[in-house]
Amino acid sequence: MVSISGSKKLKRQMAPQFWEISRKDKRFVVTVRPGPHKKAYAIPTAVFLRDMLKIVTSLREAKASIYSGKVKIDGVVRKSLHHAIGLMDVVELENTSDVYRLVPMQGKLLRPLKINESEKGKKLVRVTSKTTISKGRMQIGFHDGRSIISDIQVSVGDTCLIQIPEQKILEVIKLEPGCQALVTRGINAGQIGKIESIEEGTFILPKRAVLALEERKIEIPEDVIMAIGKEKPTITIK
């Protein structure tokens, strides 16, 4: 049998802070395998259930729940302890009414936010690439690793509201002055503000946005913000 590349474990001392695991427990912890999100910006399913939600008390209980198909991520059953859960992913648990969306909150890269049942079929995804293919159609790549072939006109940096798991684009939110944006990383993670202007990148500086928060303005790289709506967030973010 062919083995999947990448280690299955990680030293606890090296785990990202937002996992919120005990550092002086056992030496190793389950890690993220190659998947939809970058390793530094994702949490493995087993750690999410045990350490973040605390609905199981051990890795053995987490295995039982995951292997029996009780965990859905973006509407699809995932049976891997190492599956990467990241920004805007929707997590459903069998036999409970709770539905969670992973969002940045209070300076933390990822935190679970309870959402209404009516929103579990919607997800915001940031456009990270687009490629012209045959017959002039566009293949659009998103931050969570998925891609969609569509005739809809979007630009890199825009956000799409999609229906999951069907991957149907419901709305395009342009990254432009006047729209609401969410800071996804850094000390301001979880803050929502209005974009006042977008500065083009130079040889030295990346493309940046001037974001008006509650009492201050910040200039921030364009790739760490996500457009979430015109006047207010399209879906529940906080």
**pLDDT tens track for 43-68:** 999 999 999 999 999 999 999 999 99
pLDDT digits (tens, 9 = 90+) for 71-130: 999 999 999 999 999 999 999 998 888 899 999 998 899 999 999 999 999 999 999 999
Which residue intervals of the chain are DSSP H helices? 45-47, 59-67
CATH topology (fold) of 122-173: OB fold (Dihydrolipoamide Acetyltransferase, E2P) (2.40.50)
Check pLDDT > 90 for residue 214.
Answer: no
Which overall architecture, per CATH, does domain 9-116 show? Roll (3.10)
3-state helix, strand, coil split of the chain in percent (to 5) is 15, 40, 45
On the question of pLDDT at 3 being above 80, the answer is no
Rounded distance between C-alpha atoms, residue 115 and residue 155, angstroms = 29
Per mean pLDDT, which range of 19-23, 85-89, 149-153 is the poorest?
Answer: 19-23
State the chain's mean pLDDT as an integer: 90
What pLDDT, on a 0 to 100 scale, did the predictor assign at position 23? 80
pLDDT confidence of residue 112: 94
**Helix boundaries (H) for 1-143:** 45-47, 59-67
Token representation of residue 169: 């684009």
3-state class of 161 per DSSP? strand
Model confidence at 34: pLDDT above 90: no
Average pLDDT over residues 126-155: 90
> Phi/psi zone of residue 229: left (φ > 0), alpha (ψ -120 to 50 degrees), beta?
left
User: 146 or 214: which carries more pLDDT confidence?
Assistant: 146
Distance in angstroms (rounded) separating the CA atoms of residues 67 and 80: 7
pLDDT bucket at 6, cuts 50 / 70 / 90 = low
**Statement: residue 2 has pLDDT above 70:** no
Residue with tokens 């879906």: 235
d(CA 212, CA 215): 8
Total-model pTM: 0.89
Report the percentage of the chain scoring pLDDT > 70. Answer: 97
- pLDDT value of position 26: 82
